Amino acid sequence: SKIDTSGLSMWGVNLNFDAFSATFVEPAKKGMPGYKQRRKGERKRKSIRGCIVDSRLSVLDLVIVKRGEQEIPGLTDTTQPRRLGPKRVGKIRKLFNLSKEDDVRQYVVHRPLPEKDGKKARTKAPKIQRLVTPARLQRKRKVLALKKQRSEKNKRQAAEYAKLLAQRQKEK
């Protein structure tokens, strides 16, 4: 299986693992590193660099495919906890295996902030998205009521207009 890793040369040109030669210009297509398609089917001539690794690279992105016998110090010997927890209601429910009746706000992951001298320890929590609140339900009811009022008004006006047309037709 192919691993999409990348890198940059000293001049900020992207590595392309399909090419072997030095830096050259090639028409870039959608999905190529260092190119963002602005219109459908658009191509642009971009400088790319071959995949040969040497001292003229500034960045080389790698992926660990297989673990060896020993750990790499500072890389595979420690596990970094996720800095942030989920923000969306559905994802919080999935993480803690909650039902629809459970209050999601009690399960939000709080992130501890660094303590300031002489002050109480504080935490930060994300604003929960897609949370169904009474205000949101009220807004939904209001929108639907306005929609219904508009349709009734249009029906009433259409009936009045039809009556007027019929009256004018009689007068002729």
Residues 42-69 have pLDDT tens digits of 888 887 787 778 888 888 888 888 888 8
pLDDT > 80? residue 25? no
pTM over 0.75: no
**42 token code pair:** 């658009």
Mean pLDDT of 4-23: 74
